[in-house]
Amino acid sequence: MNNAFQPLYYTIAEDLRHSILEGKFNPGDIMPSVNELALKYKTTRVTARKGLSILENEGIISVWHGKGYYVLSPEFNKFTLYYNTNSKSFNSKFSKVSVIRPTSEVKAAMLLKDDQKVILIRRTVFDGDKPVACDEKYLTYDKGRPLVEEEIKYADLPEVAAAKGSPFAIRTEMEIGAELGAPHVVETLGCAAGEPLLVTYRYIIDQKDAVIGYGKMYMRREYGKLKAISGYNCR
């Protein structure tokens, strides 16, 4: 019976989650069985199981057919990172959109043939008047598809790449490193030549594992810290 505002299976999940968070169940422990829960909550096995499934989806418990549901240890090495290049508090200016011959670095990153040209988009991100970051994006240039500047200018890297195909056919990979800025970066950001910059490299990859986009973003450390969280509480 369900006389609350929330479905019964949700109540079951909440109760169990609290038990785990309070330490009544610890990693390795077996949760109450589906039958037990069905009895306790005066419901059917289907509904009881649905409650357990929620915790399973949350990565808190795991199931072993024929044995039961086990409490897992938290995954502290798996982080969720939100990468917002288009934050509202910043404004950005596009300084260059052009078709170029790729440098050897870009050629290597995108696995390009020798004669393949790429689109280069440069952008500078400002906090008020102060430049805090700048990035370079490279996209494969298909002769057949004319370059629509407006569409590209205000979109983020993945969206631009997605516009050239199915938006679901791609994934993004990111690497994070520290570098000294190249001369034009130092000049654009107005920082010292020896200032360490946080650099993110992004690869846009289609369903055939071809790199169709590559981007590099340099951030000054006062403004460009990346944040990520881990644990159960964040989902």
Partner DNA sequence: AAGTGGTCTAGACCACTGA
Partner DNA sequence: CAGTGGTCTAGACCACTTG
Residues at the interface with its own copies (CB under 8 A): 20-23, 26-27, 57, 60, 73-74, 76-85, 156-159, 162, 166-180, 194, 196-199, 207, 219, 221, 224-234
**199-218 burial string, b = 16+ CB within 10 Å, else e?**
bbebbbbbeeeebbbbbbbb
Instruction: Rule CB under 7 A: say whether 1 interacts with DNA.
Output: yes
CA angle 225, 75, 13 (to 5 degrees): 115
For the CB of residue 72, give the shortest distance to DNA in the complex, in Å: 14
Instruction: Rule CB under 7 A: say whether 63 interacts with DNA.
Output: yes
Identify the residue among 40, 42, 153, 184 touching DNA (CB under 7 A). 42
Q: How far apart are alpha carbons 231 and 235 in whole angstroms?
A: 9
Instruction: Rule CB under 7 A: say whether 35 interacts with DNA.
Output: yes
Residues β-bridged to residue 196: 180
Contact partner, 108, from DNA, its own copies, none, Cβ < 5-8 Å per class? none
Q: How far apart are alpha carbons 140 and 112 in whole angstroms?
A: 9
Q: How far apart are alpha carbons 107 and 129 in whole angstroms?
A: 34
Q: How far apart are alpha carbons 50 and 64 in whole angstroms?
A: 16
DSSP state of 92: E
Nearer to DNA, 14 or 159 (CB): 14
CA angle 24, 27, 32 (to 5 degrees): 55
Contact partner, 172, from its own copies, DNA, none, Cβ < 5-8 Å per class? its own copies
Burial of 69 (0-12, 13-18, 19+ CB in 10 A): buried
Contact partner, 67, from its own copies, DNA, none, Cβ < 5-8 Å per class? DNA
Nearer to its own copies, 119 or 219 (CB): 219
Nearer to DNA, 47 or 92 (CB): 47
Contact partner, 59, from its own copies, DNA, none, Cβ < 5-8 Å per class? none
Instruction: Rule CB under 7 A: say whether 50 interacts with DNA.
Output: yes
Identify the residue among 15, 19, 33, 182 touching DNA (CB under 7 A). 33
x/- track of binding to DNA for residues 65-104 (CB under 7 A): xxxxx-----------------------------------
233: number of Cβ within 10 Å: 8
Binding site for DNA (CB under 7 A): 1-2, 7-10, 31, 33-36, 42-47, 49-50, 52, 63-69
